[in-house]
Amino acid sequence: MQKSVIIVAGGKGSRMKSDIPKQFLFIDGKPILMHTIEKFYQYDNSINIILVLPENQMFYWQSLVKKQKFTIPLTIEKGGETRFQSVKNGLEHIKEGIVGIHDAVRPLVSLSTIKSAFALAEKEGNAVPVIPTNESIRITNDKANHHLDRNTIKIVQTPQCFEAVLIKQAYKQDYKSIFTDDASVLENTGKSIYLSEGNSENIKITTALDLKLAEILIKPD
């Protein structure tokens, strides 16, 4: 079965206090985005890789590709004004099989997380990698707050994997604010969501602290 992955990159990394978009920041000698792409290529060197980039980042990406002598084959698609639209644009390149949708700034996803998500999606139609939370949780509103059993809470990661036909159909919906990830888009069509095992290192690099942690974690023992 054909496997594809849409890697979605965002805009400027404002929370990094940097003018450079966070996917282009370097860790261990290369841009975060290249680490992310390499992980999926390592998982399956025949995987169809779709990179969705803001249009104003494409020239910069090509310059990095040249400087780094980066040769992994992929298709580049222009991003939209929202992540929802960016994913929708990427899905135009997918016809069938299983497609994973992954954040560009999650370079520490493990091969086992990728493998588990694709395998479960092939079996059940979709898969979302999750990890437990070790924190105490309280739910709040304007009037009160109360404890929530953390054993019922899971932290959601990517790649979120789907039968291509199902997720393409789901993305024909109009955007809603409840669509915080790709699973929520599919779930809104009435489909049940299946959970696979993620890995705790699979952080989304959003802040300077995340970047420091990634620099530590990405180095081999």
Question: What pLDDT, on a 0 to 100 scale, did the predictor assign at position 10?
Answer: 85
| Residue 85: closest CA among 20, 5, 6, 202 | 6
In the chain, % of residues over pLDDT 70: 96
Question: What pLDDT, on a 0 to 100 scale, did the predictor assign at position 13?
Answer: 54
pLDDT tens-digit profile of 121-165? 999 999 999 999 999 999 999 899 999 999 999 999 999 999 999
Phi-psi label, residue 21: left if phi above 0, alpha if psi -120 to 50, beta otherwise? beta
Q: Which residue would you say has higher pLDDT here, 220 or 26?
A: 26
| Residue 58: closest CA among 74, 47, 42 | 74
Task: Name the band, by pLDDT with cuts 50, 70 and 90, for residue 92.
Answer: very high
Task: Name the band, by pLDDT with cuts 50, 70 and 90, for residue 14.
Answer: low
| Residue 7: closest CA among 64, 53, 72 | 53
pLDDT tens-digit profile of 36-47? 999 999 999 999
DSSP 125-187: SEEEEEEE--S-EEEE-SS-EEEE-GGG-EEE-S-EEEEHHHHHHHTTSPP-TT--SHHHHHH
Total-model pTM:
0.95
Q: Which CATH number fits domain 3-217: 1.10.10.60, 3.90.550.10, 3.30.565.10, 3.10.450.50?
A: 3.90.550.10
